[in-house]
Structures are given as structure tokens and as C-alpha cells.
Amino acid sequence: MGAVWLLLWLAGSGAMLERHFNQQGLFLQDMRASASPSAAPATARVVTSKFKPPSLRSLGGTELVLQVSGLEIPQRLLIDDVRAAPLKPGDTLALQVSPGRFSGRFVTAWQAIPTPRSP
């Protein structure tokens, strides 16, 4: 029984380390401050936007559901920047998407694209 517990503990610890190293060095920032050569540009349309209060597990911020160009399934993104609060459904964002070290893609920079206003 002790060997099974030890194996489960080692597997869980390995998964946590893999997740940490996969995201190491990837930080969400403003598009103007980012100049990462490995990041790929993408555009996304805001489907929904809502405020998420801070909790013991998260800093909170604006939770967006985005329809990203090239992806069929909407994606969720939590931005803890006050400039994301006025985003509403239909707005367009420019995103920089960087690959993780082992798997996945992560948004490392974002910028709202102004929508043209018709007179």
C-alpha cells in the first residue's frame, strides 16, 4: 500500500513540475511592451465579458470568452488589468500567442483593436 501511495505522490509531483516548467517565462502583458519573436499574432472577438472577484485561488479581473481566429471552440481568458474592464461582446482584440515549453498555447500579450464608429 505504501508503494502505491509513493507512486501516486511522485506522479502528482511530476505533473505539477511539468505544468510549472511548461508556463515558465510566459507572462501576460500589454501588446506594446511585448516583442517576443516566438509569439504568433492572432485576433479574437469577445463573446462574453464579466468581472470575476479576487479569491484565494485567483487575483480576479475580467473573464473573457473569446472566439479566436483559426479555432473552432471559444476560449476563456482572465485578464487582471483594469483596461480590460470596459471590453464588451463584439469588441476585437489582438493577441500574441506563445507555445508552452511542452504543450499548449498561452496568451502573452493583448491589445484592444478600436472599432470604427459610423456617423
Q: What CA–CA distances, in Å, run from 42 to 9, 34, 54?
A: 39, 14, 28
Which pLDDT score, from 0 to 100, does residue 103 have?
A: 82
CATH of domain 27-113: 2.40.50
pLDDT > 90: what percent of the chain? 48
Q: Match 493577441 to its residue by C-alpha cell.
A: 95
Entry pTM: 0.69
Which pLDDT score, from 0 to 100, does residue 107 have?
A: 86
Q: Of the candidates 112, 86, 108, which has an alpha carbon nearest to the alpha carbon of residue 97? A: 108
Q: Given pLDDT bands bounded at 50, 70 and 90, which one contains residue 23?
A: confident
User: What ranges do the domains of the chain cover?
Assistant: 27-113
Q: Is 55 exposed, middle or buried (0-12, 13-18, 19+ CB in 10 A)?
A: exposed
Q: Of the candidates 44, 103, 94, which has an alpha carbon nearest to the alpha carbon of residue 71? A: 44
